[in-house]
């Protein structure tokens, strides 16, 4: 089991601790599939929602909050029945808006894993206004059920009445709906090709700046993040933040970053390069490779 889970395991009911420890091997990065969940339920005799709430300390152990020391853990449950954990990240020495919230981390985890609908979000602290707004960007966002340790389950529409969202800006294909915005670039570099693929799947209906980041560690592993915009603009999730969040779920230290690539569209009305460089430089002394590609 990874050391980062030692304290959380001590907080779990004994039957759950015994059942979940075998999943927390060196490759565990916060994904538990539907079959594994069924097995956990059988071993613990817990209802599904009870089990998901009980797993939150594991999600919170993925957090890296050097500023607040406040560990938030979230779980996004996809239509497939799989669950995706996420946790907050704060970037040392940088403006607070660079932070990633646990709910954003969990949602981006589900998105990067190919989920098209998120049905439930389970979180250990009441979701802040920014997260409510981020969740509202999802396909059928108002129907996402929010589960908290000491509240009755309620849909997002309860937590965010009179919502402002994508439809107010005439966007009918919200976050997690299929995106395909091909960018043209002649390259044989696998890392650049990976970034290009993710940029084509990014969600940038408001600026058309289809963008993605790939981070590589010295051993050749890569961690990606796509740009995910928000109708209220500020809660948008930057691709660098998403990639850092992917890396931390995989228990990699940011100091292990060896190469960093940002790809964005030449036709976007904004550029993410400044924001991406600031975030990267707060955690690793690496130059950002910035590539601008033509949309098809």
Compose the 98-117 pattern: x for residues touching Zn ion by CB under 5 A, - for all others.
---x----------------
What the block records as the tokens of 93 is: 């020495």
Task: Out of 131, 146, 191, 276, name the contact with Zn ion by CB under 5 A.
Answer: 131
Query: Which residues sit opposite 143 in a β-bridge?
Result: none
224 binds, among ligand DUR, Zn ion, none (CB under 5 to 8 A by kind): none
Query: 103 catalytic, yes or no?
Result: yes
Report whether 48 contacts 36 (CB < 8 A). Answer: no
Q: Would you call 140 helix, strand, or coil by DSSP?
A: coil
Backbone phi, psi, residue 253, to 5°: -80, 140
Candidates 63-71, 93-101, 227-235, 259-267: pick the segment binding Zn ion (CB under 5 A). Answer: 93-101
Strands of 110-157, DSSP E? 118-123, 145-147, 154-155
Stretch that binds ligand DUR, among 35-43, 49-57, 100-108, 173-181 (CB under 6 A): 100-108
Q: How far is residue 181's CA from residue 198's CA, in Å, rounded to a whole number?
A: 10
Q: Which of 101, 181, 198, 252 forms a contact with ligand DUR (CB under 6 A)?
A: 101
- CA dihedral angle for residue 280, residue 126, residue 109, residue 139, rounded to 10 degrees: -120
Size of the site for ligand DUR (CB under 6 A): 14
99 binds, among Zn ion, ligand DUR, none (CB under 5 to 8 A by kind): ligand DUR
Catalytic residue among 69, 94, 103, 287: 103
What is the Cα Rg of the chain in Å? Answer: 18
Smaller CB distance to ligand DUR: residue 126 or 255? 126
Q: Which of 41, 99, 157, 179 binds ligand DUR (CB under 6 A)?
A: 99
Q: Exactly one of 53, 59, 62, 72 binds ligand DUR (CB under 6 A); which one?
A: 72
Which H helix or E strand runs over 129?
Answer: helix 129-135
In whole angstroms, what is the distance from residue 75 CA to residue 13 CA? Answer: 18
- Select 101 or 198, whichever has its Cβ closest to Zn ion: 101
**Contact indicator for 210, 229 with CB cutoff of 8 Å:** no
Q: Footprint of ligand DUR on residues 18-57 (CB under 6 A)?
A: none
Q: Which does 102 bind (CB under 5 to 8 A by kind): Zn ion, ligand DUR, none?
A: ligand DUR
Question: Taking the complex as a whole, how short is the minimal distance between the CB of residue 71 and ligand DUR, in angstroms?
Answer: 8
Q: Which of 212, 179, 220 is nearest to 195 (CA)?
A: 212
Widest Cα–Cα separation across the chain = 55
Q: d(Cα 31, Cα 43) in Å, to the nearest integer?
A: 19
Q: Is 131 in the site for ligand DUR (CB under 6 A)?
A: yes
One of 30, 127, 205, 235 touching ligand DUR (CB under 6 A):
127
Q: Is 76 in the site for ligand DUR (CB under 6 A)?
A: no
Residue 264's binding partner, choosing from ligand DUR, Zn ion, none, with beta-carbon cut-off 5 to 8 A by kind?
Answer: none
DSSP 65-109: -TTT----EEEEEETTS-EEEEE-B--TTS-GGG-B-HHHHHHHH
Q: For ligand DUR, which stretch binds (CB under 6 A), given 50-58, 121-129, 221-229, 239-247?
A: 121-129
Contact residues: ligand DUR, CB under 6 A: 65, 68, 70, 72, 88, 90, 99, 101-103, 125, 127-128, 131
Contact residues: Zn ion, CB under 5 A: 101, 128, 130-131
Which sequence positions are flagged as catalytic?
A: 103
């Amino acid at each position: 089991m990874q050391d980062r889970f030692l304290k959380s395991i001590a907080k779990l009911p004994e039957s759950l601790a015994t059942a979940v420890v075998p999943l927390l091997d060196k490759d565990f990065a916060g994904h538990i599939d539907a079959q594994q969940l069924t097995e956990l339920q059988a071993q613990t005799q817990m209802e599904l929602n009870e089990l998901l709430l009980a797993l939150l300390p594991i999600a919170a152990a993925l957090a890296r909050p050097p500023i607040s020391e406040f560990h938030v853990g979230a779980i996004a449950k996809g239509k497939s029945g799989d669950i995706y954990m996420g946790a907050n990240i704060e970037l040392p020495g940088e403006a607070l808006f660079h932070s990633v919230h646990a709910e954003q981390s969990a949602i981006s985890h589900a998105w990067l894993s190919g989920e098209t609908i998120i049905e439930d979000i389970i979180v250990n602290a009441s979701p802040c206004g920014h997260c409510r707004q981020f969740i509202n960007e999802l396909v059928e966002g108002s129907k996402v059920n929010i589960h908290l340790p000491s509240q009755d389950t309620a849909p997002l529409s309860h937590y965010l009445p009179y919502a402002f969202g994508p439809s107010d800006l005439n966007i009918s294909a919200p976050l997690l709906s299929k995106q395909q915005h091909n960018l043209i670039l002649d390259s044989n570099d696998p890392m650049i090709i990976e970034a290009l693929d993710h940029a084509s799947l990014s969600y940038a209906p408001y600026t058309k700046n289809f963008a993605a980041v790939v981070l590589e560690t010295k051993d050749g592993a890569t961690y990606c993040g796509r740009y995910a915009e928000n109708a209220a603009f500020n809660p948008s999730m930057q691709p660098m933040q998403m990639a850092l969040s992917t890396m931390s779920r995989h228990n990699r230290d940011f100091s292990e970053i060896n190469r960093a690539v940002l790809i964005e569209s030449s036709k976007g009305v904004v550029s993410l390069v400044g924001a991406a460089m600031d975030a990267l430089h707060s955690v690793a002394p690496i130059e950002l490779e910035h590539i601008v590609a033509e949309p098809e």
